[in-house]
Amino acid sequence: MPVDLSNGKPLAWDSAKLDADTKAMLDNLQPNILQAHVRENMSLLLVHFGDGPDGRRFLRSLVPLMKSARKHLEEVRDFNRAKKPGTPYVGVGISKIGYLKLGDSTSKFTDNAFKSGMKRRKDTLSDPAVGAWEKHYQEEIHAIVLIGDATPEPVAATRERVLALLPKTAKIVGEEKGEGLRDAQGRGIEHFGYVDGRSQPLFLADQVAAESGTNWNPFFPLSHVLVPDPLAPHPSRHFGSYLVLRKLEQNVRAFREAEETLADALGLKGDDRPLAGAMLVGRFRNGTPLRLHGKPSSEGHPVQNDFSYRDDPGAKCPVSAHIRKANPRDSRDGGLERALGVMMARRGQTYGRRTDKPWDDAPATTRPTGGVGLLFMAFNSSLQGQFEFTQQTWADNADFPAGDTGHDPVIGQGKRDVKVRYPTAWGSAKLSAPQRQVPQTVTMKGGEYFFMPSLAYLKSL
Ligand code: HEM
């Protein structure tokens, strides 16, 4: 039975009743797409091939270091049951120019963003000029090798094994190191100090069962992340996913100053001051959603995700908040993000070391202005319809979801000339006087689009 990507039920990946095609799909799909792989420590190798046949041999030689999605899911299950540690993640992505260098035709790929490459999409995304990107992103990047694990040692050892396989005709044009950042309670946070990676589209039955709710349905069909691998031996059983990688530098000091300025402008005092930052992000630093609470809910509480904005015109969570712009959760037309198929699987990791405590209230002047940020990564079935749509049509659009909403305060790019209004208190329909938008504090430093092919394709090289 052909794999049904639009199946309205979550995939019971370990069911004995799984059909042969779905089994083949799981045995040939790369991990980290359907379920996040542990990647507290990461090395991202950006590769340039000087010679196509050498490049093909190199990619094929990586297969023994890789595992399938099914193997990964089994490892997760064994870890949850018996704390049995898993193996490192090795993922491979190939860019459009990478495929051409390898001698493959890209005519069967349908995604226009992928076929253009990120450099040629910079105007669509209001990205900085390519000449302002970090040097290695200005070069032709043919492939990416992602290595990740819970601790640095297996990542370092696997990285050595990958480098030992690299042919003389290929070079590593750049490398990114991802390192998880955690708050005092051990929750994963990003550099502005907020819990991140909480809200995700879920595809698998066990994941959905663990997060059932009444207000927000986290289940999304496989069609959000999988597409047939057009160059695999059997595209109807061999699937892949488009990866977006963007290095996003965070000016933490400027963001903290913006939080303080907004708190002053709204007259927030004492314990109410964190409301300003929460209005920008949509959650308090500890992950408490503003839609549900006007103060950070008690520590140790699992980070809540069961909410929609259906009955909140913006009095609790401003419509301009990052998480509301990036996922409007049923705000219009009975679920825009679902109807349009926009939700992508975010799999990023923070980069850059800190000596301060990102979650505390130390003065803004003690915060870094650069050198730290997010290696934003996400899997998509359509880069144009998901990542680019979110960035361009929602985050960068001051009129989404309604006129004069303003840019996404965290990731919006482009001129922030519209003035915006915020609720004067949590839950208050009374709005503040129009305020200048907070300045842009996230800067794109480079990136690329890749396709994560099936293992069957890599073996066929
Ligand atoms: C959620 C921060 C870049 C899309 C979040 C959350 C934080 C955050 C703190 C809340 C945690 C959660 O709900 O999972 C950041 C920072 C970024 C960044 C600091 C850059 C440095 C991006 C980009 C996109 C994006 C580039 C897409 C274009 C989303 C989405 C959610 C989210 C879709 C989940 C919203 C929801 O479902 O409620 N982000 N983010 N983020 N972010 Fe970002």
Does one domain contain both 398 and 256? yes
Which pLDDT tens digit goes with each residue over 253-273? 999 999 999 999 999 999 999
pLDDT at 334: 59
Task: Determine the Cα–Cα distance for residues 136 and 227; give it in Å rounded to an integer.
Answer: 29
Which residue of 182, 199, 351 sits with most ligand 1 atoms within 8 Å of its CB, as the best mutation to test the pocket? 199
So what's the pLDDT on residue 340?
85
> 113 near 384, Cβ under 8 Å?
yes
Does the pLDDT at position 333 exceed 70? no
CA distances from 457 to 62, 74, 295 (A): 12, 22, 50
Domain assignment present for 1: no
- The tens digit of pLDDT for each residue in 398-414 reads 999 999 999 999 999 99
Q: In 273-361, where do the E strands start and end?
A: 345-346, 349-351
DSSP string across 375-408? EEEEEES-TTTTHHIIIIIIIT-TTSSSTT----
Ligand 1 atom closest to the Cα of residue 200 is 37
Ligand 1 centroid to Cα of residue 346, in Å, is 8
- Cβ 460 vs Cβ 451: under 8 Å: no
Q: Are residues 430 and 456 in the same domain?
A: no
- 373, pLDDT greater than 90: yes
Task: Tell whether the model's pLDDT for residue 442 goes beyond 80.
Answer: yes
User: pLDDT higher for 411 or 333?
Assistant: 411
Supply the pTM of this predicted model.
0.98
Q: Are residues 230 and 317 in the same domain?
A: no
Give a yes or no: residue 14 inside a domain. no
Domain that holds residue 347: 248-446
Residue 305 lies in a domain: yes
Name the E strands within 215-258.
227-228, 239-250
Q: Indicate if ligand 1 lies below 6 Å from the C-beta of 396.
A: no
Q: Are residues 66 and 188 in the same domain?
A: yes
Q: Do residues 33 and 90 both lie within one domain?
A: yes
- Does any ligand 1 atom lie closer than 6 A to the CB of residue 190? yes
Q: Is the CB of 349 under 6 A from ligand 1?
A: no
Q: Are residues 239 and 270 in the same domain?
A: no
Q: 241 and 256: one domain?
A: no
Are 146 and 87 a contacting pair, CB within 8 Å? no
- By percentage, how much of the chain surpasses pLDDT 90? 94
Share of the chain above pLDDT 70, in %: 98
261 and 361: one domain?
Answer: yes
Domain for residue 407, yes or no? yes
Asked if ipTM goes beyond 0.95, one says yes
- Residue 3 in any domain: the answer is no
pLDDT of residue 300: 65
Q: Encode pLDDT of 72-119 as tens digits.
A: 999 999 999 999 999 999 999 999 999 999 999 999 999 999 999 999
Q: What is the rounded distance in angstroms from the CA atom of residue 21 to the CA atom of residue 343?
A: 25
Crossing angle of helices 252-265/274-281, nearest 10°? 110
Do both 114 and 128 map to the same domain? yes
Considering the domain boundaries, does residue 252 fall inside one? yes
pLDDT at 460 over 80: yes
Neighbours of 174 (CB within 10 A): 20
Residues 258 and 229 in one domain: no
Tell whether the model's pLDDT for residue 332 goes beyond 70. Answer: no
Q: Output the CA 277–ligand 1 centroid distance in Å.
A: 14
Number of domains in the chain: 2
| Segment 56-70, tens digit of pLDDT | 999 999 999 999 999
Tokens encoding 454: 């099936």
154 lines ligand 1 (CB under 6 A): no
pLDDT at position 127, please? 98
Report CA-CA distances (Å) from 398 to 180, 282, 308, 395, 416.
32, 17, 21, 8, 8
Specify if 13 maps to a domain: no
Domain-located, residue 300: yes
User: pLDDT digits over 296-313, tens only?
Assistant: 987 667 899 999 998 999
Of 7, 83, 33, residue with least CA distance to 15: 7
* Own/partner long-range contacts of 291-300 (Cβ < 8 Å, ≥24 apart): 291/316, 291/317, 292/316, 294/425, 294/426, 294/427, 295/271, 295/426, 299/185, 300/185
The pLDDT mean for the chain works out to 96
Q: Are residues 191 and 286 in the same domain?
A: no
Does any ligand 1 atom lie closer than 6 A to the CB of residue 283?
Answer: yes
Residue 2 has pLDDT above 90, yes or no: no
367, 434: one domain: yes
